[in-house]
Amino acid sequence: MDSVRWQVFPDAATVAGETVRRVLAGAERAIAARGAFHLVLAGGSTPERAYRLLADCDSNWAHWHIYLGDERCLPADDPERNSLMIARAWLDSSPVPGENIHWIPAERGAEQGASDYQAIIQAVLPFDLVLLGMGEDGHTASLFPGQHHDPTRLVVPVHNAPKPPPERISLTVTALCQTRELLLLVTGAGKNPALRRWRSGEPLPVATLECEAGVDVLLDQAAAA
Ligand code: 6PG
């Protein structure tokens, strides 16, 4: 908990604006220092507003490399895929080169997709910035309460997820925490009970993000109230 920094903003729009500001600043730092920006994106609905804003921003896009924190095992063109949401909101209209966008191949099934993606992730760690969301039960990425994964793996197959669809692929805390910066976006009153449980010390999946760089939680008033 010591390494968790909480920042409360008036509303979800302000959280999105701050997210974009921090992502663009992270990109500038990483590209100046190492010539590349390795960014992990979150699925779910919360970050979509920030993705739409990024579509209208300027950056040194050719040096961006994009990954996903988790994916749902559905056909590649299924509207419920995290990749499709992100493509529609941002990347379809962005100059980030297609070969720099590394979707999780979840259409191959949880086991095969996880092992294929692990090889990609292994070669790029550490990330520069990881974006995550939190579910109302305290899950993050596709790491759900009561499910345990081999911590030596970077990417795992997930079965029986309580949030549909049940088959998913997720980066583990081991991979997600190998980053120079981690931003967790939490908006809306529905997230308030899980936040309280986290802050009172319950071992929710989101509470297991113990990263050397710390965790920056960007909240709106509704979630924080
Ligand atoms: C997914 C996720 C998941 C999500 C949280 C929050 O595939 O659904 O990546 O971890 O980030 O459930 O989702 P919302 O932003 O929709 O509340």
Cβ distance 41 to 47 under 8 Å? yes
pLDDT at site 190: 98
Q: How far is the CA of 35 from the centre of ligand 1 (A)?
A: 30
Are 66 and 91 within 8 A, CB to CB? yes
Residue 205 lies in a domain: no
Using the atom order of ligand 1, give the atom closest to the CA of residue 139: 10
CA torsion, ordered 175, 178, 180, 183, to nearest 10 deg: 40
Give the CATH number, domain containing residue 109: 3.40.50.1360
In a domain, 181, yes or no: no
Q: Which three-class secondary structure state does DSSP give residue 117?
A: helix
**Is 111 inside any structural domain?**
yes
- Given this model, what pLDDT does residue 96 score? 98
Contact present, 70 and 43 (Cβ < 8 Å): yes
CA of 190, closest atom in ligand 1: 17
Asked whether residue 195 is domain-assigned, the answer is: no
Amino acid occupying residue 130: V
Q: Looking at the domain assignment, is residue 211 inside a domain? A: no
The pLDDT tens digits for 75-121 are 999 999 999 999 999 999 999 999 999 999 999 999 999 999 999 99
Could you tell me the distance, in angstroms and rounded to a whole number, from the CA of residue 167 to the centre of ligand 1?
14
Domain tally, the chain: 1
The residue whose C-alpha atom lies closest to atom 9 belonging to ligand 1 is 43
Residue 96 lies in a domain: yes
The pTM (predicted TM-score) of the whole model is 0.98
Residue 48: which domain range? Answer: 4-175
Ligand 1 neighbours (beta carbon < 6 A): 42-46, 70, 72, 82, 133-135, 139-141, 163
DSSP one-letter code for 42: P
**pLDDT computed for residue 2 by the predictor:** 59
Q: Is 202 within the bounds of a domain?
A: no
The percent of the chain in helix, strand and coil, each rounded to the nearest 5, is: 40, 20, 40
Whether 116 maps to a domain, the answer reads yes
Q: What pLDDT does 94 receive?
A: 95
Point out the residues of the chain with pLDDT beneath 50: none
Structure tokens at 123: 């070669």
Rounded distance from Cα 116 to ligand 1 centre (Å): 22
